[in-house]
Structure 1
Amino acid sequence: MNKNLILVESPSKAKTINKYLGKDFIVEATVGHLKNLPKTKLGVDIENGFRPSLLNIRGKGDIIKKIKELASKSNTVFIATDPDREGEAIAQDIADLINGKTNAKIKRVLFNEITKHSVKAAIENPKEININLVNSQRARRVMDRIIGYKISPFLWKAVVDSGSLSAGRVQSVALRLVCEREEEIEKFVPTEYWNLIAQFMTEDGKEFSAKLYEMEGKQLKVQPKPEMTEEDWKEFLKNNFAINTESLAKEIATKIESKNKFVISDITKKENKRNPFPPFITSTLQVEASRKLGFRPKKTMMLAQNLYEGIELGKEGPTGLITYMRTDSTRLSEEIIYEARSFIEHNFGKNHLPARPRNYEQKNKKHVQDAHEAIRPTSLKYTPEYVKPFLSNDQYKLYELIWKRFIACQMESAVLEVTTVFIKADEFIFRASGTAIQFPGFLAIYDESSEDSNGNNANENGQLPIGLYRNQELQLKELKKIQSFTKPPARYTESSLIKELESKGIGRPSTYALIMSTIIERNYVEQIDKKLIPTKLGKKVNKILVENFPNIIDVDFTAKMEDELDTIADGNMEYERVLRDFYEPFSKTLQEVESKIEKPKCEICGADMEIKIGRYGKFLACTNYPKCKNIKSLKELSENNSEPEFTGEKCPKCGARTVFREGKYGRFIGCERYPECDFTKVITTGIQCPKCKEGELTVKKTKRGKIFYGCNRYPECDYATWKLPKEEVADENNV
């Protein structure tokens, strides 16, 4: 008897779905894509409508054969690949492979969540493959291939650092953002400023600190940048003052300490409401998992995929615990909102339940696909405590985060009372603030404290003593003079870079994790203490791309292309038109750059050498082929053209210059006369080893390329740590 065939992407998803369907269904996994563009050539017919040449992926022959055999014996083939553009393209590839090989009806089904209800509802209401989504994915893939294939050869100038370089449409923009931020940091000139922090005590012995806020009617502000004009400075001083030298700080402190009377001149209390954040979408999940759990985006998506596809819950078998994890919509179904409100009322009480359900309509709907709900639990039956025995530690942490964020998004606002106290001593006024929670609301389950703290006020978000009142006299116990310097812009982390890309309309939910891993794995960016820092290679690659393709490796251009690719998915623009609009100016830029760029020459016939892609990777080949068959490895060219980076120091062993070198486990200093002179020296961080107190910590890498810090006296001292210890630095935020 013929059965129905369901095709999904992963074996774990197949196992979960199989649990919900009867014996009339066979569920088989494709294990990802079945077709792809060729590795050794462009694979796009530019002259004929940008038609891609999709080939069966090497190693997928047995799976393809099995799918064809099962399809030939089936009544209906349900293609249940992931419910996004990538999944739609895989669905079309499957349909192309089995068309003509079976008499079965071919239907598309979408599972936003892998639950019994969702699976059965999808099977009962099948759809057709959405050709607009397929075309959108194909256009994105073709555009990425053209840019990468056509631009990458121009990076031969940088092969002195690496034998195989490549450019990507979105990854190159991400690299540019990281490099531009690094340039801002390098150009930044710190400005000195001082804060005066007073420690006051009440008559009954209660103490609190306050910061100097006002002097002679002018507010204390951090001095603006040194390059401000004289006129700007005069304007600034009309209403503000700055303590920018130690002598001025001492002078003001002496005046304050001479005062005999410190009185609370004013107390203000303000009630603030704090609303919960929306439920997670892909980007916010990656950002929050990085901030709270320390997970990299790639790891977050892998764990979320596990939770979506199904976890073995004992006797219940494989069960999908969250909805689809690649989404940019905050929409929630009415059913799950009703379930959440019942849960909140039962577990937290009516006072934690808003009068009406919370609706999270996105303000900027320009980039939102809204094909799926937000990321949420599939059922509130599966509390974190219920499923904990069946999850790994990391799976549990991520599921608990998703669960709490979802419940919190439907809870009442938190009510906070902010108290601000002003202490006056003649012409001087100090200020301190404290925050108290009047009603916890959603904070009862989920703390959404922001990633950064400005630390502008002493006691900010802290506690003030109870019982302070106006005209109350205080005793000045201590006055601290705190020196600080303005700080440069913060380096991007993976989470903050994802935020930046999303805010600029670059990338989509399925691409953020890949963008992060790509720029790191290509050694364009390294990650130290979670900060993204461009490598020497990354800076060089970015410089070449920006100098030669400023309009292509551009934030606005990339965002515009993303928008146009979205219009294909919406059915508002045609595949060929979008690619033609992109390719014509791109091709013109390419020709202009090609006419200016200097190419390596063949030492046999004198013709240009160009980068080719072979079975074993990239290599240089003579353009005079087949008359001249000269080829050269990129590594060989790298060795012949590499220019050393000198340190400016002499080798203590032989007196020659020392240079920076790259080793298996990181960067180090060596003699330029190597191998004649074998002098080497590790590069330290300047931070004393906390174990032996003699050595200094140096940056090292594991075999897998992960950075850690170890004592430079190894093996005498075996201290090692993943996180760099911080030196003790005086900072007003610690007051």
Structure 2
Amino acid sequence: MAKNVVIVESPAKAKTIESYLGKDFLVASSYGHIRDLVKKDKGIEIENHFKPIYKIPEDKKNVVKELKKLAQKADTIWLATDEDREGEAISWHLKEALELSDNKIKRIVFDEITKKAILEAIKNPRGINYNLVNAQQARRVLDRLVGFELSPILWKKIRTKLSAGRVQSVAVRLIVEREREVDAFVPESRFKVVGLFSFTDEQGNPQQLKAELARFLKDEKEVEDFLRKCSTADFVIEDVEKKPFKRSPAAPFTTSTLQQEAARKLRYSVSRTMLIAQKLYEAGYITYMRTDSVNLSDFALDAAEQAIKNDFGNKYHHRRTYQTKSANAQEAHEAIRPTDISRETITASKDEKALYELIWKRAIASQMSDAEIERTTIKIFAKGLNDLFTAKGEVILFDGFLKVYLEDTDEENAENGEEGILPTVKKGLSLKMESITATERFTRPPSRYTEASLVKKLEELGIGRPSTYAPTISTIQKRGYVHKEERQGKEREYKVITLHKNGKLAKEVKTEITGGDKGKLFPTDIAAVVTDFLNKHFPEIMDYQFTARVEEELDEIALGKLEYEEMLKEFYFPFHKKVKVTIDVERPDTERVLGTDPATGLTVSVRLARFGPVAQKTDPKNSGAKPIYARLRKDQKLETITLEEALGLFKLPRVLGEYEGKEVIAAISSFGPYIKHDGKFISIKKQYDPFTITLVEAVHVIDSKRVSDSEKYIKVFDEDPSYQILNGRWGPYLKAGKRNIKLPKDREPTSFTFEECVALANNTEETKGKKKAGKKK
């Protein structure tokens, strides 16, 4: 039995570390947290200094039992959980649950899983940092108190199974408020003017120059007046301005900037990014991925210098140190970087490889020289015009860090002209006008949040910490407050007015698709109702500054500057008093009357029902009459739906006609739109709308479903129809009752007899769902 037992959080990490430590060390895993708050009475003894009451969950009892056995036989227990507050708390829980004495434990931390880092950590053990433990417990207790006291109020006043949280409710508020900004936005029309000019250069070659008017023109009349002046104007180059400037690289990744850039460049969700980063860290490829520091160690700076000079040359290297903007950043940590900066790529899955290469590029680029760029601005003047045309271009004189990496941005509303390489021109050069085109453009509403831009906003406001962003965004989607989806845009007309070189004006009306959104976060109606209720009754909980101030106080606890109990007392007792008062308030009225159905005289309204938003028709003269209901569509909202749109919902279910002597009906259920025929329900694909689908299209859906079903069944046995050989996503398989069993690949699926299938089912061990092993960070 090894004298030294090292306990880490994940088995993947355990294997890597054990290979570095040698025969005197055994590395075991706790599989994340081993204790959690009990559910009874919030799991907190409020009157006893807010003491948390922990228990070992059922799925962790065997883990704890095995770890206890190992601990009893070992001389020293090395607690090697992650170096953040959560990891520190796990080490403390291990000490308590395994009943370890202080003289038997050594706490070690490292921000990368490399042999050098692990051996260095073993040489420099420390004790458990109880300030970090208290900060983690304070966050856990605070979130438990908020969730356990607010959620029952929401169940009572709005709908069951709702939840509230100190950070999640604020995140939902951001998304709801942005959606209301989008709804309230009224686009304004204006015209963007672009001129195409020609000239002959000094070598006698014809050249063209495209330039943009320095301002927008407000309407069609102003456009026509301006173009008429242009038709007789003489255009000349008034000025050619060349300005050198430098572009500097972005800092190495923190958790939030990695999440944002992976979303922009790789299209990864926040949770997917963190899952992949966790794997890279556990495999020893990158440093710890939960950090708000942009620091790089001297070791990393030296390694980056060597790699850059070797790969690109001395002039590409520029040693830089970055200062984290956040006052509460944990500067002892490093930014996220490769553990071996000389390694440009790795052998791993496609996703892991892509994220690693992004991290490598960002880290390397941060230590490279500025890019040197020359920006040219050409100003074009014509007598009689008050406005200048300008053409802008950039020439990269020295690429510097751009050789490796350029950061993306979230900016979607930029309407800058195209920048590229411009022809060589001199001041005073006469230009010939080829055409001037005024294109109608519309102002755009604020952009809805993506997961990445929401992380950025939360970080700007100081809400949450690196470890909280991914679970918060996942939670608000799982709870049904927010959904991420793609929405098709709508067709819109716009005008194009062109002045040709012959002096004639041409007008066109064109169409474009506008308002489409991909991968954006949309709030549901329940999100809006809950946000309004919490804003009204718990404004402090929903206040951005208050939530950020809580984070600052947690940081103070972590630094030993604030007492755990003092912080909780100051928050909890006023909050609890407000909870007791709110129990007696009236339920929010979500009903919105839209008007009267002209065909029936019934009142049409919308409201939030038990299973979601509905439109309803009620008889104003007979309160006892049963209302008629229709579900709202996913892209409709209680706050903005019109009477006409609501009346359209009552057209479902639609009888489309008959097929094979039986009715064909189009409708929508909670599972989405469908066609009903001969007692069967067939889901409609995205290209069909239940409100407009024709009988011909519906018959095509029915026939297509029959074909796919017939292709699915390879063989059904008369001896027992529950035994079937089917075509699946990954090839033919045997369905035996509720079990799915792989078929040998060296046999033709149709050749199996019933007896062979029964034998195969009996001899194949039944696979059970994977047991959840404890919550991982």
TM-score range, shorter chain: 0.7 to 0.9
Aligned residues: 603
Where 1:480 maps in the other structure, the secondary structure is: strand
Looking at structure 2, the residues matched to 190 and 717 of structure 1 have their Cα atoms a distance apart, in angstroms, of 45
Identity of aligned residues (%): 41
**1:173 is aligned with what amino acid?**
V
Partner residue of 1:372 out of 325, 330, 333: 333
Contact persistence 1:158–1:541 (CA under 8 A): no
Structure 1 residues 567, 640: closer, same or farther in 2, change over 3 A?
closer
Where 1:33 maps in the other structure, the secondary structure is: coil
1:167 equivalent in structure 2: 164
Contact persistence 1:658–1:672 (CA under 8 A): no
Q: Could you list the runs of 5+ residues in structure 1 that have no partner in the other structure?
A: 214-219, 222-242, 311-319, 601-637, 649-655, 685-694, 701-710, 719-735
**Structure 2 length normalisation: TM-score?**
0.73
Could you give the per-residue CA deviations for residues 99-120 of structure 1, whole angstroms, max 9, x where no partner exists?
26x7971111102100001001
Measure how far apart 1:590 and its partner are.
1.8
Structure 1 residues 450, 640: closer, same or farther in 2, change over 3 A?
closer
Equivalent residues in 2 for 1:52-451 (5 A)? 52-99=52-99, 105-156=104-155, 159=158, 163-203=160-200, 204-213=205-214, 220=215, 243-259=217-233, 261-310=234-283, 320-354=284-318, 357-362=319-324, 364-384=325-345, 387=346, 390-428=347-385, 429-451=388-410
Where 1:81 maps in the other structure, the secondary structure is: coil
Equivalent residues in 2 for 1:616-655 (5 A)? 644-646=614-616
**Structure 1 length normalisation: TM-score?**
0.77
Could you give the per-residue CA deviations for residues 220-255 of structure 1, whole angstroms, max 9, x where no partner exists?
35xxxxxxxxxxxxxxxxxxxxx2212221221122
Measure how far apart 1:122 and its partner are.
0.6
Looking at structure 1, the residues matched to 651 and 44 of structure 2 have their Cα atoms a distance apart, in angstroms, of 46
Structure 1 residues 531, 122: closer, same or farther in 2, change over 3 A?
same
Contact persistence 2:481–2:524 (CA under 8 A): yes
Partner residue of 2:526 out of 537, 544, 560: 537
Structure 1 residues 698, 515: closer, same or farther in 2, change over 3 A?
farther
Contact persistence 1:197–1:210 (CA under 8 A): yes
Contact persistence 2:158–2:530 (CA under 8 A): no
Contact persistence 2:157–2:588 (CA under 8 A): no
Where 2:428 maps in the other structure, the secondary structure is: coil
Contact persistence 2:81–2:90 (CA under 8 A): yes
C-alpha RMSD of matched pairs (Å): 3.0
Structure 1 residues 383, 670: closer, same or farther in 2, change over 3 A?
same
Looking at structure 2, the residues matched to 511 and 575 of structure 1 have their Cα atoms a distance apart, in angstroms, of 20
**2:527 is aligned with what amino acid?**
G
Bigger RCO of structures 1 and 2 (CA < 8 A, at least 6 apart): 1
Contact persistence 2:365–2:405 (CA under 8 A): yes
Looking at structure 2, the residues matched to 103 and 644 of structure 1 have their Cα atoms a distance apart, in angstroms, of 61
Measure how far apart 1:383 and its partner are.
2.3
Looking at structure 1, the residues matched to 455 and 189 of structure 2 have their Cα atoms a distance apart, in angstroms, of 32
Structure 1 residues 340, 366: closer, same or farther in 2, change over 3 A?
same
1:452 equivalent in structure 2: 411
Looking at structure 2, the residues matched to 7 and 94 of structure 1 have their Cα atoms a distance apart, in angstroms, of 9
Contact persistence 2:614–2:629 (CA under 8 A): no
Looking at structure 1, the residues matched to 588 and 359 of structure 2 have their Cα atoms a distance apart, in angstroms, of 53
Where 2:541 maps in the other structure, the secondary structure is: coil
**1:498 is aligned with what amino acid?**
V
Contact persistence 1:75–1:103 (CA under 8 A): no
1:565 equivalent in structure 2: 554
Looking at structure 2, the residues matched to 681 and 567 of structure 1 have their Cα atoms a distance apart, in angstroms, of 53
**1:571 is aligned with what amino acid?**
G
Where 1:531 maps in the other structure, the secondary structure is: strand
Could you give the per-residue CA deviations for residues 599-640 of structure 1, whole angstroms, max 9, x where no partner exists?
99xxxxxxxxxxxxxxxxxxxxxxxxxxxxxxxxxxxxx977
Contact persistence 1:416–1:437 (CA under 8 A): yes
Looking at structure 1, the residues matched to 521 and 41 of structure 2 have their Cα atoms a distance apart, in angstroms, of 33
Looking at structure 2, the residues matched to 673 and 499 of structure 1 have their Cα atoms a distance apart, in angstroms, of 42
Looking at structure 1, the residues matched to 119 and 458 of structure 2 have their Cα atoms a distance apart, in angstroms, of 37
1:587 equivalent in structure 2: 576
Where 1:551 maps in the other structure, the secondary structure is: helix
Looking at structure 1, the residues matched to 243 and 652 of structure 2 have their Cα atoms a distance apart, in angstroms, of 70
2:452 equivalent in structure 1: 495
Structure 1 residues 13, 294: closer, same or farther in 2, change over 3 A?
same
Looking at structure 1, the residues matched to 307 and 334 of structure 2 have their Cα atoms a distance apart, in angstroms, of 20
Measure how far apart 1:504 and its partner are.
0.9
Measure how far apart 1:39 and its partner are.
3.6
Measure how far apart 1:520 and its partner are.
1.1
Q: Could you list the runs of 5+ residues in structure 2 that have no partner in the other structure?
A: 486-517, 590-607, 619-626, 639-645, 656-662, 674-684, 691-696, 705-777
Partner residue of 1:462 out of 420, 440, 462: 420
Could you give the per-residue CA deviations for residues 401-452 of structure 1, whole angstroms, max 9, x where no partner exists?
0001000000000011110011111133211101111100000111224332
Could you give the per-residue CA deviations for residues 302-344 of structure 1, whole angstroms, max 9, x where no partner exists?
111111111xxxxxxxxx0100000001111111101111111
Looking at structure 2, the residues matched to 269 and 263 of structure 1 have their Cα atoms a distance apart, in angstroms, of 18
1:715 equivalent in structure 2: 701
Structure 1 residues 587, 437: closer, same or farther in 2, change over 3 A?
same
Bigger Rg, structure 1 or 2: 2
**2:245 is aligned with what amino acid?**
N
TM superposition outliers: structure 1 runs of 4+ over 3 Å: 157-160, 453-457, 597-600, 638-643, 666-679, 681-684, 695-700, 711-718
